[in-house]
């Protein structure tokens, strides 16, 4: 389908920013959404095809109003790429309930808020693309990442079921499940009690290239795949966890 207007969350950094810049360069009018207004303003300077919409994705009313504003300003939304998320880390005993619940509000409820507000218009016109960033963290757990893994497990399942529920329409839904990728989310590795396996990957320069991840997303969105595993690392980790769940923890320890 032809993409004229796209809404990108998490557009102030990482793969959301890469996606926004690529689409804008291709002539797509991009609604760039993020809570980081300063970085959004910098992004806006890079293309006349980018309009910015600061928004807290965890606030359902704010998201609802934002989608209305986007539609009024740039027109009907043809594609949504939902990449907005946070990744604080820490052991369960060290995280209070408010911290864990807040992460779920941003990562999972933020996904629900976006989908709930863009899906009706796509159903009405029987057209659209919804790309949701889940993660292999939703199926491949790590210590000190309980909250993040749980939130991404919720996103993975929500997105997969959504894809099946709209299978008889011309709406394309895909869940992206990357492995550890070199984006600003990795700044939490220095700020929190990150798992040893992630610390090791950062130190050894073994994080996936975000540009390659976005490349694969654009290829897979043209297929009938529901889940996009954009790199061989994502495929490998997911298969190990699925078929050898107990061995998974030994493998994590070995690579720490």
Catalytic residues: 148
Q: Which two tokens stand for residue 172?
A: 């394309």
CA-to-CA distance for 36 and 28, rounded, in angstroms? Answer: 22
E strand or H helix at 128: strand 128-133
What are the Cα distances from residue 5, in Å, to 13, 21, 70, 225, 228? 20, 13, 10, 23, 22
Query: How far apart are the two ends of the chain, measured CA to CA in Å?
Result: 44
Q: How would DSSP label each residue in 184-220? A: GGGGHHHHTT--HHHHHHHHTT-PBPHHHHHHHHHHH
Look up residue 136 and give its DSSP letter: G
Closest to 161 (Cα-Cα) out of 106, 213, 119:
119
Q: What does the angle CA 219 – CA 20 – CA 34 come to, to the nearest 5 degrees?
A: 125
């Amino acid at each position: 389908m032809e993409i004229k207007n796209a809404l990108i969350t998490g557009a102030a950094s990482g793969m959301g920013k890469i996606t926004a810049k690529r689409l804008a360069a291709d002539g797509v009018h991009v609604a760039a959404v993020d809570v980081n207004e300063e970085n959004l303003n910098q992004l806006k300077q890079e293309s006349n095809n980018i309009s910015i919409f600061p928004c807290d994705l965890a606030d359902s009313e704010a998201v609802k109003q934002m989608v209305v504003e986007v539609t009024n300003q740039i027109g009907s939304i043809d594609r949504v790429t939902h990449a907005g998320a946070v990744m604080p880390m820490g052991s369960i005993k060290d995280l209070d309930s408010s911290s864990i619940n807040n992460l779920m509000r941003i990562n999972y409820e933020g996904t629900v808020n976006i989908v709930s507000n863009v899906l009706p218009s796509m159903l009405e016109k029987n057209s659209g693309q919804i790309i949701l960033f889940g993660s292999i963290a939703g199926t491949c757990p790590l210590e000190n990442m309980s909250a993040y893994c749980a939130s991404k497990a919720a996103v993975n399942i929500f997105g997969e079921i959504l894809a099946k529920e709209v299978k008889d329409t011309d709406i394309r839904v895909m869940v992206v499940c990357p492995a550890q990728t070199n984006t600003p989310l990795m700044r939490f590795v220095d700020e929190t009690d990150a798992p040893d396996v992630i610390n090791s990957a950062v130190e050894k320069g073994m994080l996936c290239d975000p540009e390659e991840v976005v490349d694969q997303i654009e290829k897979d969105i043209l297929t009938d795949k529901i889940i996009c595993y954009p790199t061989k690392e994502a495929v490998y980790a997911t298969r190990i966890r699925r078929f050898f769940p107990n061995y998974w923890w030994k493998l994590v320890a070995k690579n720490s």
